[in-house]
Amino acid sequence: MFLAQTWYMTTRLIRRLIRQPWYVALTLIQPIIWLTLYGQLFQRVVDLPGFRATSYIDFLTPGIVIMSSLFASGWTGMGVIVDIDRGVMDRLLVSPVSRPAIILSRLLNLSLTTIVQSLILFGLGALLGARYRGGVGGLLVLLVAAVLLGCGFGALSIALGFTLRKQESVIGAVNFVLLPLTFTSPVFMANNLMPQWMRAVAQLNPVNWSVEAGRWALAGQPDWGAVGIRLLLLAVFAFVAVLIALRAFRAHQRAA
């Protein structure tokens, strides 16, 4: 029953997304621009002493895939606020639908969207000259890392939506954290070339875990133990974030 309800709620969100294809396009515009322009603008970065990659587009593509997942997940809470304002959430609360299904369906919808966007960016990177020595296995690891990161930050965004209940407040909070999370990770620059304090911050940054897992897996002959540790950290992060979202949802129910 729970799985059926979750899937039903997910298909409802997918149908809404299909009616608004511009949303997927808009969330892809910035990553595509960054991948295309930064990939060309900073291609000589590989000449820096200590930069271990031989091709910047190879290095950048996994980072942009993860960044796309982060940015898309940050706005998941906006859908919660829209449903609250339109009375949809009230109707769901008086229905027999499982409460966790309401949250998990949004994360499943986000995961499917993330996979589609990641494959598009992965293909664009190949067109721009990226070579993925890790093959299909590396791609799967990158997708898993992107999905886990998206679920984690998507759940936190949902928690913000239930807690703040104002679009302006959620927009402000999301904008406040997205770029710092991106630039304290190796999306654009190798960790070993960052200032010491940024390297320390990156060790606690889930975006860093995602980028490292995906990039190492795609590089060919990776340290699978290190990749597995990053994926485990991401899974724990996503699990804790979902618990936070469920708690915020219960608080919203009590206040409704």
List all residues 6 or more positions away from 101 whose beta carbon is below 8 Å from its beta carbon.
2, 5, 6, 9
Count the neighbouring beta carbons within 10 Å of the beta carbon of residue 21: 9
Q: What is the mean pLDDT of the chain?
A: 91
Tens-digit pLDDT profile for residues 19-73: 777 777 777 888 999 999 988 888 888 888 888 888 999 999 999 999 999 999 9
* Residue range 195-215: mean pLDDT, rounded: 95
pLDDT grade for 104, boundaries at 50, 70 and 90 = very high
Taking the C-alpha atoms of residue 54 and residue 164, their distance in angstroms, rounded to an integer, is: 46
| Best CA proximity match to 14, nearest among 110, 117, 119 | 110
What is the pTM assigned to this prediction?
A: 0.93
Taking the C-alpha atoms of residue 51 and residue 43, their distance in angstroms, rounded to an integer, is: 12
Structure letter (DSSP) for residue 220: S
- pLDDT given for residue 256 in this prediction: 63
pLDDT grade for 219, boundaries at 50, 70 and 90 = confident
Which residue has tokens 């990659």?
53
Taking the C-alpha atoms of residue 84 and residue 18, their distance in angstroms, rounded to an integer, is: 21
Taking the C-alpha atoms of residue 40 and residue 199, their distance in angstroms, rounded to an integer, is: 25
How long is the chain? 256
Share of the chain above pLDDT 70, in %: 100
List all residues 6 or more positions away from 256 whose beta carbon is below 8 Å from its beta carbon.
90, 93
- C-alpha angle with apex 97: 91 to 102, nearest 5 degrees? 85
- Higher-confidence residue: 251 or 94? 251
Rg of the Cα atoms in the chain: 19
